[in-house]
Amino acid sequence: MAHFVGVCAIFAIHFLHISCFLCNFASVMALSKTRAKLVDVARQLFAKKGLDDTTMNDIAVASEKGRRTLYTYFKNKEEIYFAVIEAEMERLTDTIKEVAQQELHPVDKIVEIIYTHLRLIKEAVLRNGNLRAEFFRNIWMVEKVRRHFDQTEVELLTGTLDKGVQMGLLSVDNIPLAVDIIHYCTKGLEVPYIHGRLGEGMGEQMSKRVVRKIVNRALGI
């Protein structure tokens, strides 16, 4: 009997621990959903009205969460703007990772990463309407937020080149330098690509062939 009571007590303790864990998990998930909603509502308002003409009260009313809830997550409008750009960059990072997982020749994969990078940046800027001006004006903040995206892209490019060299498909003397050149050249093409001035008059497939030739030569193929 004593043994049975002991087993029941242990079971009860484990059940209590599991219940507490599930409650905490549910609470965290609820907080995460609330924050995500506030960020998405803010993004839509920024896109429609611009950063300067959107107030914290506008965000609180549109989200139906109230000012107290809004200020629980964000101290000011700049923090929300930071979170909006951060959310966009997370979406870009996830997509770039998917591209890097494709079974392609290393050069083709690099070209796909370059064009995916440019296309996603353009989509992020254009879909945010009035926020696009803020994107260019507050470039220092964007650079700060996109640090993780840039780091991920560098790692993916490095892995692609390293694998290509190991397979005997590429001949690269200095992979870190090659990655830096590809990465920073791609970043430098963002603004002309957004404004439609990159390969003007050329279709994407045609421009990709040109870029592939350039990458081939740069990598000694």
112-141 pLDDT, tens digit each: 999 999 988 888 877 766 556 565 566 666
Residue 36: which CATH number? 1.10.10.60
> Torsion over CA of 74, 77, 80 and 86, rounded to 10 degrees?
-130
Distance between CA atoms of residues 158 and 149, nearest Å: 14
Residue 163 CB contacts under 8 Å (≥ 6 apart), including other chains = 106
Assess whether 104 and 211 both reside in one domain. Answer: yes
Q: Identify whether residues 65 and 28 lie together within a single domain.
A: yes
Per the structure, the complete domain to which residue 8 belongs is given by 1-74
Statement to judge: residues 7 and 48 lie in one domain:
yes
pLDDT tens digit sequence for 201-214: 777 788 888 888 88
Average pLDDT, the chain: 79
| Final residue belonging to a domain, choices 46, 74, 102 | 74
- Residue range 65-96, pLDDT digits in tens: 888 898 999 999 888 888 888 888 888 889 99
Give the span between the Cα atoms of 12 and 103, in whole angstroms. 51
| Residue 125: predicted pLDDT | 77
> Domain boundary residue among 38, 54, 74?
74
Give the total number of structural domains in the chain. 2
Distance in angstroms (rounded) separating the CA atoms of residues 84 and 50: 13
